[in-house]
């Protein structure tokens, strides 16, 4: 049995960026490095799902050799 996860486009997500992801972020949205959602020490970006898609959507496809996230992971942040 498969488990489904329902999430809203405004769901908060966290990703750890690799070098390609950091370069994409610097090119597309350099202001993101000055907001509270960026942690330079861990290279983690916390933002809404729609923002992740807008920033990194062009390279999010099967067979891409330039994926922006370390280990291809997106963490969904749940409100408790």
| Residue with the larger pLDDT of the pair 60 and 53 | 53
pLDDT recorded at residue 11: 92
> How far out from the chain centre does Cα 67 lie?
11
Q: What is the DSSP letter of 72?
A: G
Question: What are the residues facing 13 on neighbouring strands?
Answer: 47, 76
Contact 67/20 with Cβ under 8 angstroms?
yes
Tens-place pLDDT, residues 19-47? 999 999 999 888 888 888 899 899 999 99
- Report pLDDT for 47: 93
Cβ 10 vs Cβ 79: under 8 Å: no
73 versus 64: which is more confidently predicted?
A: 73
pLDDT at 44: 95
- In the numeric block, which tokens belong to residue 9? 């486009």
Q: Name the β-bridge partners of 69.
A: 17
**pTM for the whole thing?**
0.84
């Amino acid at each position: 049995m498969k488990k489904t996860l329902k999430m809203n486009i405004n769901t908060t997500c966290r990703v750890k960026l690799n070098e390609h992801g950091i370069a994409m972020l610097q090119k597309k949205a350099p202001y993101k490095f000055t907001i509270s959602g960026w942690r330079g020490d861990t290279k983690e970006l916390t933002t809404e799902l729609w923002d992740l898609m807008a920033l990194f959507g062009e390279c999010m496809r099967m067979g891409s050799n330039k994926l922006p996230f370390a280990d291809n992971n997106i963490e969904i942040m749940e409100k408790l």
